[in-house]
Every structure is written in structure tokens, then in C-alpha cells.
Amino acid sequence: MYDLRPYAELKIEEVTPASIMYKLESIHRRLNESYNQIAADKKIDVTLSIGADDVYWASALLNALTSRQKDVSVRSFKHSTHGGTALPALTTLAFNESAPISVTVVIKANDDVGPSVSLGSRKHGPVVGWMAVWKLLGRLGGLYPTETGAFADTATRMDFWLAKAMTLARGDEKTKEVTAREMSAFLGRCDFLGAVDGLSLTDVVVYGLLCRNDKNASNLESWLDRCRAVGVKACCC
């Protein structure tokens, strides 16, 4: 059994401004619309656009997706704005054009807009931003609830730490250190970040954000080992 008391201490309203809560609600509505359209399709074409610094969390998420959904194929390209070296392999699978779920990753130069996901030839615009992209890919991989009403507690726990993870993705060094300390303290009482009963979307994302660090707090290192033990992996780490 997992100790639920640490989760009871997470008071989302006290740490998250109302404006951010409104944005989270908007993300949920948009994701529900997009996911419902995905669920009705027999062939899903997903285009994921990410910055150069996003390849590690993207790799962790895509590896989780391909391990949970067997009919998924992933390929990656370097955008003209990306002037870096050769790209790391995001997954270990060969691309299969006929796979029911096809993910094309476009890696560009870093910017302030963040990653985006486009779904086939849909007329509506792409889902944009770290949190929205994480949730949509998490739903495809069964790592985030598709019906948040039925799993409100679980979704809230994930949202809390996903919001914190955004500071690891784009915050300054001081903010990242504060977030890492908070996560370390929490992981001193729980085995995983997002779900009471095991691995979640939050764990996969944060793994991809922290696994390259030369040194993490002991609680975080132990948690990274637990994630690896249940199959979480990212390119280069």
C-alpha cells in the first residue's frame, strides 16, 4: 500500500495562480476534443515539433508510447533552424509507414513557444505548449487518464507535478534547483511522482528532464533507478 498523506498535502489552489488554473482547464477541454477525434480514427498521423533541448523528455515519452502501444512508428527530422550536430535516435524502432499510429518528430531550434502536436490534416490548429503536448502523448500511451472526471484525483496529482516540471523544461537554474528539491522531498515519502499505484506520465516526463544531470539528490537518484527498473528510458541516458 502507498501512503496517501503526502498527496493530501498538495493544495493546488494555494500554489497555482487562478490564471494558470484557467489555462489548465482550457488544456483539458482542448485535449478531450483532440483525443475523441483520435479515438475515432483507424490511422493516426501525429506530427510532434520540439526544440533541441526537448529531445530527452520526448525520447522518454516516445519510448513509453511504443512500449505500451505496439502499433506505433516514430521517425525524426531536423528542421532547417536546427544547426546542431547529428540527432540522437529517439527510439530503437524502425519506422513503419503502415503503422496505425505514425509519429513524425521535427526537431527545431529552441524557442519560447514550446513544443506542438498536430494531428493529421485536422482543420483546427495544433496543440501547443509543454503541458498540453505531454498530456496528449500521455493519453495515447495510456499514461494519463482519458476521462479526467472519473480519475480527478489522479489527474490532479499529475497536473501538479507536470506544472512543476515545466520549470525544469524552461526555468532558470535557481528555479530548477527549487523544483528539484521539492520533488526530492516528496520522493522521500512516495515511490513515484504522479500516481499512487505506480509509474505515470509525470514520472516519464521528469525522468527525461533529469536523467542527464551529472548529480541529483539521493531521493531523485533512487527514483531514477526505480523508473529504469520498470522500463523507462531516454536517448543517451
pTM: 0.77
Which residues 6+ apart lie within 8 Å of 237 measured at CB?
A: 56, 211, 212
Domains of the chain: 5-18+148-229 (1.20.1050.130), 41-140 (1.20.1050.130)
**Is the separation of the CB atoms in 197 and 158 below 8 Å?**
no
- Per-residue pLDDT 10s for the chain (237 aa) are 223 333 333 333 333 444 444 444 555 555 555 555 555 556 778 889 998 888 889 999 988 888 876 677 777 777 666 555 555 566 555 556 667 778 888 888 877 788 998 877 555 568 888 988 998 888 887 888 776 565 677 788 888 899 999 989 888 899 999 999 999 999 999 899 976 668 889 999 999 999 888 888 999 999 999 999 988 988 767
pLDDT score, position 88 = 59
Which strands make up the sheet holding 44-51, listed edge to edge? 72-78, 101-108, 44-51, 116-119, 127-128
Buried b / exposed e over 44-66, threshold 16 CB at 10 Å, is bebebbbbbebbbbbbbbbbbbb
Q: If we measure between CA atoms, which residue out of 71, 109, 103 comes closest to residue 90?
A: 103
- Residue 2: per-residue pLDDT: 28
Contact (CB, 8 A) for 60 and 232: yes
Which residues are bridge partners to 45 per DSSP?
A: 102
